[in-house]
Structure 1
Amino acid sequence: MSLTGRQHTIADIVAREGFTTVDSLAAAFSVTTQTIRRDLRSLCDRGILRRRHGGVDLPSGNENLPYPMRQILALREKQRIARAVADYVPDGASLAFSIGTTPEIVATALSGHKNLRVFTNNINVAAAACRNASFEVTTAGGRLRNQDMDVIGPSADAFFASYKVDFGIFGVGGVDADGSLLDFTEDEVKVRETIRQNCRQSLLVLDHTKFGRPAHVRGGYIHEMSVVFCDQDPPETIRKSLSDAGVKFVLGRGRPEE
């Protein structure tokens, strides 16, 4: 999905700050409100943002954004997270990847590794991993969700339960103030939990916009992870719960790939 640089930045601002006015965006970019309205019209027509009186915000939290739109939001932050995960995972490891745009970007960042064994229900992850001839890639069978290009449900649960891997890599729809991990469907939660229960180290990858983001299906807590990778420090209560539980927290590093 092609966006201008300004539209990309606008989407990131709204993802970070929530409701944002037309006037504040015009001032931030030193352009007219008419120019900003054209940008916002394009972003809203694609479903990335939602019109509100005087400005825009993200679409309703009752359901997740379509996959192509999630690939756009917080892309630079996700690339930083992916580089940190690539530093952490050694050559020759076995990995279970779940659904989501951040795991897909992590799979791409691992392309310089050797002899990884990848197990996934995410066709986007599988395609990224297959670009490295030394990787062994195994996918779950079943019906694909068209836009998300993934398999969820009992077949995916049974698939992940059949292996014991070194690292489970998965994202999350949102994190509540008490550390609850939230997603948008029961099947998504079940797949994530099955991976967590069948890996030696669980690696949660999420950008900062997931803290406080509403989603309605709960499954597990952030302090149950082995390592949490993020682009910014979490809220203080979350950071304390991670510290108390001995969970390693890793900040994404460096300048992302453009």
Structure 2
Amino acid sequence: MQPTTQGRVRKQARLLGEARRSKILDWLQEEGSARVRVLAEAFGVSEVTMRQDLEKLEADGHIVREHGGAFLKSVTQQVRSMALQHLENMEAKQRIGRAAAKLTGDGETIILDSGSTTTELAANLLGKRDMTVITNALNIALMLGAEPGFEVHMTGGHFKAPTLSLSGERSADYFKGLFAQKLFLATAALDLEAGLTYPALSDIPVKRAMIDAAQKVILVADSSKIGARSFTSLGNLELVHVLVTDEGIRDEDRAAIEAIGVEVVIA
């Protein structure tokens, strides 16, 4: 093998490692912590390779390793301050929250997924009357739970610190036998081929159960998520009836999404 070929192989391996570590960090920013064994299995690498990845992420200041796993460095302070992990593109998310809130009416039963955009939506529900809200988001429950005109129900399940939410099979089981007029669903990324994708596995059964319990599914996602892909798929875009996004969406993406029968609302 020539040196130039060796260099290309090393560069490719480095890029593959960087891409994997980026997705590992996305996972930890979603879950808060994870075991080496679970991460190695999910990413299809050896535990030795996963430990090396975690060592690099720790050296870069993102995480703290512990025996057999790792946790997000900022998670303790974040939970104490009741802050969410993903706070980028907040101006667009605020506009989306206002537009999505206009799609609700007094007396409705709605499901609110966890996330920064759905939190903005919840803030714009104040003043509604006789509304029942079902959510897996602790911060949303605290925001609306004491407000006149709201009856708030929370799922059970495993607490995920970065998203201040409850997740896993027990959270999913809560939705069995429930009916809601509308679900306001969050996503990490959406793509016409990959569909709705998320950084980790634990939310997938919860989101599927939410979809099954709702008559209408309204996806709230800023335009930076369109055309992107995350780690694991929930399903294709046909699961969604309405997409509420911002004006940053490309014309060709909007046309393609509308072509499969999804209404697009621009905030």
> Quick check: TM above 0.5?
yes
Structure 1 residues without counterparts, runs of 5 or longer: 1-58, 253-258
Is the aligned partner of 1:175 residue 2:190? Answer: yes
Structure 1 segment 10-29 matched on structure 2, within 5 A: none
Is the aligned partner of 1:80 residue 2:42? Answer: no
Secondary structure of 1:147's partner?
coil
Could you tell me which amino acid in structure 2 is paired with residue 79 of structure 1?
Answer: Q
Retained in 2: the 8 A contact 1:174–1:211?
A: yes
Secondary structure of 2:206's partner?
helix
Aligned partners of 1:214, 1:221: CA distance in 2, in Å? 12
Q: In the alignment, what sits opposite 1:104?
A: 119
Aligned partners of 2:250, 2:207: CA distance in 1, in Å? 23
Distance 1:201 1:233, change over 3 A: farther
Could you tell me which amino acid in structure 1 is paired with residue 169 of structure 2?
Answer: P
Query: Displacement of 1:70 after TM fit?
Result: 4.1
Secondary structure of 1:132's partner?
coil
Q: In the alignment, what sits opposite 2:136?
A: 121
Aligned partners of 2:175, 2:150: CA distance in 1, in Å? 18
Q: Deviations over 1:170-201 (max 9, x none)?
A: 11011135251100122212211211121011
Query: Displacement of 1:131 after TM fit?
Result: 4.0
Is the aligned partner of 1:60 residue 2:75? Answer: no
Provide TM-score, normalisation by structure 1: 0.69
Pairwise CA RMSD: 2.1
Aligned partners of 1:69, 1:235: CA distance in 2, in Å? 28
Q: Deviations over 1:84-126 (max 9, x none)?
A: 1111111111011112111111111111211110111110111
Provide TM-score, normalisation by structure 2: 0.67
Moved more, 242-251 or 60-69: 60-69
Aligned partners of 1:238, 1:189: CA distance in 2, in Å? 25
Aligned partners of 1:243, 1:71: CA distance in 2, in Å? 27
Q: In the alignment, what sits opposite 1:186?
A: 201
Q: In the alignment, what sits opposite 1:215?
A: 230
Could you tell me which amino acid in structure 2 is paired with residue 174 of structure 1?
Answer: A
Moved more, 218-227 or 101-110: 218-227
Could you tell me which amino acid in structure 2 is paired with residue 122 of structure 1?
Answer: A
Distance 1:113 1:71, change over 3 A: farther
Structure 2 residues without counterparts, runs of 5 or longer: 1-20, 31-77
Aligned partners of 1:231, 1:241: CA distance in 2, in Å? 16
Moved more, 116-125 or 169-178: 169-178
Aligned partners of 2:254, 2:260: CA distance in 1, in Å? 10
Could you tell me which amino acid in structure 1 is paired with residue 254 of structure 2?
Answer: R
Retained in 2: the 8 A contact 1:223–1:241?
A: no
Aligned residues: 194
Q: Deviations over 1:31-74 (max 9, x none)?
A: xxxxxxxxxxxxxxxxxxxxxxxxxxxx9244154674645311
Identical positions, percent: 22
Q: In the alignment, what sits opposite 2:258?
A: 243
Q: Deviations over 1:216-235 (max 9, x none)?
A: 10111223311110012534
Aligned partners of 2:130, 2:182: CA distance in 1, in Å? 14
Aligned partners of 2:192, 2:251: CA distance in 1, in Å? 10
Query: Displacement of 1:164 after TM fit?
Result: 0.8
Aligned partners of 1:158, 1:180: CA distance in 2, in Å? 24
Secondary structure of 1:161's partner?
coil
Larger Rg, first or second structure (1 or 2) = 2
